[in-house]
Amino acid sequence: MTPRPWIEREGMGPAWLLTFADLVALLLAFFVMMYATQRVEQGDWESLIRSLSQFLKTETARTLPQPSAPDNLRTLAGLRAIELPYLKMLLEGLRRSEPALSNVVFHRLDDRLVIALPSELLFGPGDAQPIAGARERVALLATILRNVSNRIDVLGHTDPAPVAGGRFASNWELSLARARSAAAMLREAGYDRPLATFGLGASRFGELAAIEPETRRYRLARRVDIVVRDRRERR
């Protein structure tokens, strides 16, 4: 019987494979140890990364300024409408710091923020001409409103008492004239976006039915509302 150059056992391969596997394991361990003992030059890697970054760069990185005050709101609102809760917070802070705005009321509704100005802050009885201090009050609000891109409407309201004398034939005409006058004051203060003005007369007086006494209800009915929508105004 011819002797075989390898040893075979039942269920096992050639014995030389064991020696070969040991050799490969030793070589692998040797190269791992060689690599581990090498000192990586960080500066060389950083130079390589910078070179690749310059070669592969497809656009220039931009850093946008972060708005932090009412005067910086144009940065935030230039591309989209500002969030109404944030706007209300800014306006309430302005009211606390400016006694001239102490009687201004802010109402947050589903899709709008209503800034209600009682008529006695802006106009004389039965008139639409600004009184002393009216422009200053509107200008204070405009320091914030002129920097937002939300749609803004100006609504004039009156109480249901008939207009007595003067140059206006009806409450509707008086409310529209007051809305236009308030819008003009906003523009004088630097607001340069489209403004829609509406005269509603006493058509919303029923919404105040639960308010007592009646004198207070009538006083609240005589107002100009600056309505800020939750969507952007398209020029």
Q: pLDDT at residue 42 above 60? A: no
Q: pLDDT at residue 124 above 60? A: yes
Q: How far apart are CA 191 and CA 94, in angstroms?
A: 17
**Both 162 and 49 in a single domain?**
no
Query: 165: pLDDT confidence band, cut at 50, 70 and 90?
Result: confident
The CATH number of the domain holding residue 196 is: 3.30.1330.60
Tell me what pLDDT residue 46 has.
62
In this structure, is residue 106 part of a structural domain?
Answer: yes
User: In the chain, how many domains are there?
Assistant: 2
Summary mean pLDDT of the chain: 81
**Both 205 and 181 in a single domain?**
yes
Structure-block tokens of residue 54: 């310059």
**Both 114 and 39 in a single domain?**
no
Instruction: Give Cβ neighbours of residue 231 (< 8 Å, ≥ 6 apart).
Output: 81, 111, 150, 151
Q: Calculate the dihedral angle through the C-alpha atoms of 129, 105, 96, 229, rounding to the nearest 10 degrees.
A: -90
In this structure, is residue 3 part of a structural domain?
Answer: no
Structure-block tokens of residue 58: 């497809």
Region 183-209: mean pLDDT is 94
> Ramachandran region of residue 200, left (φ > 0), alpha (ψ -120 to 50) or beta?
alpha
Name the pTM for this structure.
Answer: 0.66
Q: How far apart are CA 17 and CA 171, in angstroms?
A: 106
Region 177-190: mean pLDDT is 97
Q: Beta-carbon neighbour count of residue 48 at 10 Å?
A: 10
Structure-block tokens of residue 116: 């209600």
**Both 26 and 81 in a single domain?**
no
Instruction: Determine the structural domain holding residue 147 and report its residue range.
Output: 70-232
Instruction: Give Cβ neighbours of residue 159 (< 8 Å, ≥ 6 apart).
Output: 171, 202, 205, 218, 221, 222
Alpha helices in the chain (DSSP H): 16-36, 42-56, 73-77, 84-97, 134-145, 171-188, 214-221
User: Please, which residues bridge with residue 116 across strands?
Assistant: 105, 225
**Both 21 and 116 in a single domain?**
no
**Both 43 and 110 in a single domain?**
no
**Both 125 and 172 in a single domain?**
yes
User: Please, which residues bridge with residue 150 across strands?
Assistant: 232
CB-CB contact of 155 with 182 (8 Å): no
Q: pLDDT at residue 71 above 60? A: no
